Amino acid sequence: MKFTDGHWRMRAGVDPAYPVEVLDVEPGPGTLTLLAPSYRVHSRLDLQRGPVFTVELSAPLPDVVGVSVTHYAGQVARPPRFELFTNGATEPWVDADAEHAALTSGALSVRVNRADWRMDFVAGERVLTTSGPEDLAFIQTGDDGHHVRERLVLGVGTAVYGLGERFGPLVRNGQVVDIWNADGGTSSEQAYKNIPFFLTNAGYGVFVDHPGHVSFEVGSEDVARVQFSVADQSLRYYLIYGPTPKDILRKYTALTGRPALPPAWSFGLWLTTSFNTAYDEETVNSFVEGMSERDIPLSVFHFDCFWMREISWCDFEWDPRTFPDPRGMLTRLKAKGLKICLWINPYIAQRSALFAEGKKRGYLLRRPNGDVWQWDLWQPGLAVVDFTNPEAREWYAAKLDALLDIGVDCFKSDFGERIPTDVEYFDGADPELMHNYYTYLYNKTVFDLLRKRRGDGEAVVFARSATVGCQQFPVHWGGDNSSTYESMAETLRGGLSLTMSGFGFWSHDIGGFEGTPTAELFKRWIPFGLLSSHSRLHGNYSYRVPWLFDEESVTVLRTFTRLKARLMPYLYQAAVIAHRDGIPVMRAMVVEYPDDPACTYLDRQYLLGDDLLVAPVFAAEGTVDYYVPPGVWTHFLTGEQVQGPRWVRERHGFDSVPLLARPGSVIPVGALDDGPAYDYADGVTLYVFALAQGRVATTVPTITGEPAAAFVTARDGDVIRVEADPAPAGWRVLLVGERAIESVTGGSATEHPLGTLIEAEGGVLTVRLARN
């Protein structure tokens, strides 16, 4: 929200107050509270008016400083609040004298100048950012509104990222961002997943701890500041010190929650009925059998909305006209090795038998006069489940539980964005704060049921809406994109923005949801889709089975589906890191290379895990431009080497995509390509890329989160040594680009199109390279 009229004046009707000096400093247990009047105090006579800023500094975790600013403290505290995890908190160091007050958490300090208000956030001796005079403010507006505003200085060259899933340019500088969930597709400023957290390339991130509407002006009102404000009497935010983007994400997710580890099968190919298409069991079988006949491994089949009868969503009852034997049908599909997903949402149509039940029991949102809140958008007479009511959550979960009993494995938890504010909640929650927060309760209800029934490591949803903390309930997909190259690019931007907002896993509709892609677009989108953490074929009015496009689409889909299956030892390692540390599987280049100015604005390529660079092709003719960071990078598919740093322009066929291995990386590649879930260590091949002198790489293929084996690869001069503990059956090493071998101990070497392949005979393998 903008309050100023240029640099010198405020807008009409806007009346600001700013802290001027610190009158009192009150140390408390782990806190430092400052009282800062909005005027100079010359004598006692001045202390008979306001406003006075109450600023509490705290340290919920090391390297994290909390700032809570309050005007009137007499407001009734109403839910919701974000659930934060502060078990790792340590006692901060506090200090105050006549000139300064300071609180230190780990390597991060906030220092307040007492005589002339100023807050500096400092790491070591480096000032990360500052809230200076007239940055922090209480603002009265002409509509009797009260806002708390904060502004932090943006240093020269500081770029801002995140704030949830946003589809415009990856760098937020110059943008206005409203944290307010909306069902607006992927081509507007609206977003399904709004997260009031941003990170920078300057060593810090900021999380605004407010579940309702937060307005951000990122260098868009005052071009040298990032501004955030709430229409409230108080504002709390946390400044998080990195220093790297990965460190910031690690600490932010420690505070707000780390993602659960999805099951291995969920990383395979998902195929759906599409939405508004006609389908029955015969149609479903034709899709499943068609994929099998064409040797395309399929992991999950998803039934979209019309598994239920029209204008009855959701009643959680199979439409008997098209699916007369759902239990038998699911049994038959699961016998083919498939997992089953069903579409759901948190809305109850008036026609649904659950409407009367929910109304009678008080499980639906009500207007202040007691009426059930309803409208006709999406479903006639639609009502909304009140997830603040524990009985309503149990009621909703019980309907899903019955579906699990007949063979359903997971749910696509769609919608949850258009949540009304003219309602009353069971627990007295503030409707404005609940608008964004609703999706947390919705998805937590579904995910908790799956975790209870299936166990840790087996629960997964396919969710569209999100707020802070929803990263704990993977996976999220990018919403309603379109069948165009432009939408393919905006989809990637949205995904990278989301993963820079604390989300470890992400997917999207391959080929676009709205419209029907051309065969060329579909084939270009496939590598991007399969080289994402999760992969789904889904559309609106048209099917997404590849043979409906052309035969080459079949070949391309087969190629990349099987490639992803072979990459699962590597990808599941990345998944474990996301689960354990909060570092996403898909990463914008700046997350890995924050000090490389060429990476600051890159949003058409990304890193998949630590060591694979992916540059999707956004043109039918196959031309692609991408940036290669320093070092010798290797094309994973061909073995061709590229010396960075440099920009590369290439032309790729439909069966290829820029997929480059990082210098010095050791990538475990599985022995199987017919599905994502198998013993990743058995028969694994370690692809070794440009291992430099002195480099030591540890590779730990895991399954269900447990290490299957650990490999340590090291180079000392001309000797490469690999140790396996324990040594799995049939493990191998592929020295990519190395063909001159002097000797091998512990194995036997053969030529390979990419280099030299060595079959290990025990737990230790030593290779001496021939000198040039």
Catalytic residues: 414, 417, 480
C-alpha–C-alpha distance, residues 362 and 384, integer Å: 11
554-559: Cβ within 8 A, 24+ apart = 554/294, 554/296, 555/655, 556/523, 556/526, 556/527, 556/654, 556/655, 557/269, 557/296, 557/526, 558/294, 558/295, 558/296, 559/655
C-alpha–C-alpha distance, residues 514 and 507, integer Å: 16
C-alpha–C-alpha distance, residues 455 and 351, integer Å: 34
C-alpha–C-alpha distance, residues 576 and 571, integer Å: 9
| Torsion from C-alpha of 697, 698, 701, 705, nearest 10 degrees | -140
- CA 148 to chain centroid, in Å, comes to 28
Work out the number of other CB atoms within 10 angstroms of the CB of residue 8.
6
In sequence order, the 6+-apart residues with CB closer than 8 A to the CB of 187 are: 167, 481, 482, 486, 487, 490
b/e per residue 377-386 (b: at least 16 CB within 10 A) = eebeebbbbb
C-alpha–C-alpha distance, residues 357 and 361, integer Å: 6
> Which candidate, 473, 360, 466, places its Cα nearest to that of 411?
473
Q: Are the CB atoms for 572 and 538 separated by under 8 Å? A: no
In sequence order, the 6+-apart residues with CB closer than 8 A to the CB of 269 are: 296, 297, 298, 299, 300, 530, 535, 536, 537, 557, 561, 564
C-alpha–C-alpha distance, residues 171 and 167, integer Å: 11
Q: Are the CB atoms for 614 and 531 separated by under 8 Å? A: yes
Strand partners, 26: 33
Pairing type for strands 383-384 and 410-413 reads: unpaired
693 in the Ramachandran plot: left (φ > 0), alpha (ψ -120 to 50) or beta?
A: beta
User: What secondary structure does DSSP assign to 471-491, as a single string?
Assistant: GGS--EE--S-BSSHHHHHHH
Strand partners, 176: 217
> Quick one: DSSP state of residue 335?
T
Q: Are the CB atoms for 179 and 164 separated by under 8 Å? A: yes
C-alpha–C-alpha distance, residues 622 and 616, integer Å: 10
Burial of 538 per CB tally in 10 Å (0-12, 13-18, 19+):
buried
Length of the chain: 772
C-alpha–C-alpha distance, residues 526 and 509, integer Å: 10
CA distances from 583 to 501, 576, 608 (A): 10, 9, 11
Q: Are the CB atoms for 731 and 684 separated by under 8 Å? A: yes
**Token pair in block for residue 711:** 């490999």
SS3 category, 454: helix
C-alpha–C-alpha distance, residues 444 and 277, integer Å: 30
CA distances from 362 to 425, 443, 457, 507 (A): 10, 20, 34, 36
**Token pair in block for residue 665:** 């990386």
Q: Are the CB atoms for 186 and 478 separated by under 8 Å? A: yes
Burial of 309 per CB tally in 10 Å (0-12, 13-18, 19+):
middle
